[in-house]
Amino acid sequence: MQTLKTLKECPPDGFTYTHPETGHKTEATDPYTWVEKAKEHRRANGLPIPDDLFEQMQAQLCSRLPPDLCTYQTGDPQWVNTRLSWGDIMDVAKIYLEWSKQGKPFVSQEEAERRAIICRGCHLNIRVQGCGGVCQTIAKMVTETKGEHKTSSDSQLLNCGVCHCVNSSQVWFPLTMLEINDSESRQSQYPISFCWKNRQSPTYKTESPA
């Protein structure tokens, strides 16, 4: 597992850990408070406290931190850059154009709900930053295309740390369109154990538009 090189300095945006079972984010400015708060949350929700919880927390955090802040081992997951770029917006534009050409199809409410529940508990369900006002305007336009389509998890959905898509919108799009920009490198960054966008994941499931 990846581990922090030092515990004496607070990482950018603090120590954060998302509990997969609940989607709750435990945050702190020092590692000791961080771990104790995580244990408190797990006890309060009847969740087990594994012996290697601290190591798991560090590994998850390192997946979002610049690689020079952590120690990696062979086979560790790749670091995910969580800053928005102009290229990300161009990727979203390609999806939007293809979606429009296909008649703006959505998946079913049931499928969108399933995806949203997975996203809300993902440690890469985060806020991304960068690219400025133009990017934000385009992103807002894409977000609004889903109109009245909503899930019960919308209030907990942010952006995907891998593709930087707005999660509350992308859960409604058919996979054939979301995969337009997917490379093997990007695919490898989606968590294989649970991400509905990773083709090797047990949660990956194609569905015809509703």
Q: Where are the domains of the chain?
A: 3-71, 86-189
Which of these, 169, 174, 171, lies nearest to 116 by C-alpha position?
171
H or E segment to which residue 120 belongs: helix 109-120
Identify the sign of the CA torsion 67, 70, 73, 79.
negative
d(CA 200, CA 195): 9
Per residue in 26-72, pLDDT tens?
999 999 999 999 999 999 999 999 999 999 999 888 877 776 788 86
pLDDT at 57: 92
pLDDT band, very low/low/confident/very high, at 119 (cuts 50, 70, 90): very high
Going by C-alpha positions, the residue among 89, 67, 171 that lies closest to residue 138 is 89
What is the Cα–Cα distance from 23 to 92, expressed in whole angstroms?
A: 26
Q: How many Å apart are CA 116 and CA 110, to the nearest integer?
A: 10
Residue 112 is predicted with a pLDDT of: 93
Lowest-confidence segment of 110-114, 130-134, 165-169, 190-194 by average pLDDT: 130-134
pLDDT at site 72: 64
Contact between 3 and 55 (Cβ < 8 Å) = yes
Type of residue found at 181 = N
- Residue 209: predicted pLDDT: 64
Structure tokens at 99: 């979606």
Closest alpha carbon to 80 in 26, 160, 24: 160
pTM for the model stands at 0.65
Highest mean pLDDT among 65-69, 125-129, 166-170: 166-170
Mean pLDDT, residues 189-195 taken together: 85
**Among residues 208, 206, 188, which one has the least CA distance to residue 198?**
188
Taking CA atoms, 102 is separated from 70, 105, 173, 189, 207, in Å, by 44, 7, 11, 28, 15
- Identify the pLDDT of residue 143: 61
- Higher-pLDDT residue of 9 and 77 is 9
Tokens encoding 122: 């993902």
Phi and psi angles of residue 189, each rounded to the nearest 5 degrees, phi first: -90, -20
Pairing relationship of beta strands 159-160 and 125-126 according to DSSP bridges:
antiparallel
- Tell me the pLDDT band of 83, cut-offs 50, 70 and 90: confident
SS3 71: strand
Indicate if the pLDDT at residue 75 is higher than 60.
no
pLDDT at residue 76, as a whole number = 44
Q: Can you tell me the distance from the alpha carbon of 67 to that of 37, in angstroms, rounded to the nearest whole number?
A: 26
Average pLDDT of the chain?
83
Closest residue by Cα to residue 168 from 148, 186, 190: 148
pLDDT, tens digit, 9 for 90 and up, residues 87-99: 777 887 788 888 8
Q: What pLDDT band is residue 147 in, cutting at 50, 70 and 90?
A: low
